[in-house]
Amino acid sequence: MLYEKGYKFPKDIVEKRTSTRRKNGWFKNLNEFKKKISENTASRRIEVREKMSKAKKGKNYDIRYGPKKAQEVRNNISKSLKNHPHYKNGKSMAKMLEFNRSKNGRTYEEIYGKEKAQQIKQKMSESKIGPKNNRYGIKLSNEVKKKMQLNNLGKKRSEEARKHISLAHIGSIPWNKELPPDQQPNWQGGKSFEPYTLDFNDEFKELIRKRDGHICQLCEITQADSERKLAVHHIDYNKLNSFQQNCTSLCIKCHILTNYNRDEWKTFFQSLLKRKYGYEYTPDQKIVLDFNKPIEVLSS
Ligand SMILES: [Zn+2]
């Protein structure tokens, strides 16, 4: 319902409203209000709305009110619409809709011209900075973060996107750059400096890659599509345990992922290899070694 500027509600309506609000409390916004009104009220409202819309369906003003009252109603609507923002600058609703449709698929520059487009963008940008952003202060749960990580695995950014990111990072200092090594967040007690056993040579690594079909065992990107050779990952994180039962091929991105949540990854890869190659592990995740078992190569 639209009202003319300066329209005053009849006193009894105002009083009724005020008393309901006193009863229900005052609300900052509609959502808060919706939360607080009883389910009963909400369902009754929907009922009434449906009833009204049913009664009106397919009936124009002439049928609903009779020709004389209908003209009056039309005049009133037309009068009140003159002050409505949608009709400013002499635009009719039809014209507004047409304009909105014509915006589809066009940039702000194409629609409004360079100068106005700049203003609009500036305004939009300012309206979303800091506390004004509706995501401000919202922290993602670890579960959600992990889902996002897995979702993005193996996806390649476009050349353009990479350029944007690179430009955005120029001159920025990584937050952990100044920390001493033992305070780095993924510090594992100097494990990465442990020497690999003599067995962990190129020949062995190549055998593992071959066994896995030169495919990352997590995101299943092929070595050919990956930027470099697949890494051979130690499932129990012990680099002295270079056995086929403890090694799996991963692309560089997935290999980085395995730096976190180590226990979960250990469980994951052991069950994967058990399923794929029939390797055995004890319930407390120790490797059951079978040195007679040759490394089975899936494909060459
Ligand atoms: Zn991968």
Distance 206 CA to ligand 1 centre (A): 17
For the chain, give me the number of helices (H) and strands (E)? 13, 4
Coil, strand or helix: which one is 35? Answer: helix
CB 238 within 8 A of CB 195: no
Q: Which residues pair with 215 in a beta bridge?
A: 222
For residue 155, which amino acid is it?
K
Distance 179 CA to ligand 1 centre (A): 29
Distance 222 CA to ligand 1 centre (A): 8
- What's the token pair of residue 150? 């897995």
Distance 240 CA to ligand 1 centre (A): 23
Mark 124-156 as b/e (b = at least 16 C-beta within 10 Å). eeeeeeeeeeeeeeeeeeeeeeeeeeeeebbee
**DSSP label at 88?**
G
Distance 50 CA to ligand 1 centre (A): 53
**Mean pLDDT, the chain cut into blocks of 10 residues (300 residues total):** 69 81 65 67 80 83 86 84 64 73 84 88 82 78 79 75 77 67 60 53 89 93 89 91 90 90 92 91 85 57
Its sign, for the CA torsion 269, 153, 156, 220, is: positive
Its sign, for the CA torsion 7, 9, 11, 17, is: negative
Distance 218 CA to ligand 1 centre (A): 5
Distance 226 CA to ligand 1 centre (A): 8
Distance 170 CA to ligand 1 centre (A): 28
Distance 133 CA to ligand 1 centre (A): 34
**Calculated CA dihedral for residues 90, 93, 94, 96, nearest 10 degrees:** 70
Residue-level pLDDT at 230: 95
Distance 178 CA to ligand 1 centre (A): 30
- What φ, ψ does residue 287 adopt, rounded to 5°? -80, 130
Of 205, 203, 211, 210, give the one whose Cα is nearest residue 276.
Answer: 211
Distance 142 CA to ligand 1 centre (A): 20
Distance 175 CA to ligand 1 centre (A): 26
Residue-level pLDDT at 271: 93
Distance 249 CA to ligand 1 centre (A): 9
Distance 174 CA to ligand 1 centre (A): 25
Residues 6 or more apart whose Cβ sits within 8 Å of residue 236: 246, 266, 285, 287
Distance 195 CA to ligand 1 centre (A): 25
CB 288 within 8 A of CB 282: yes
Please tell me the number of Cα atoms within 13 Å of 116 on its side-chain side: 7
Residue-level pLDDT at 208: 92
Distance 232 CA to ligand 1 centre (A): 11
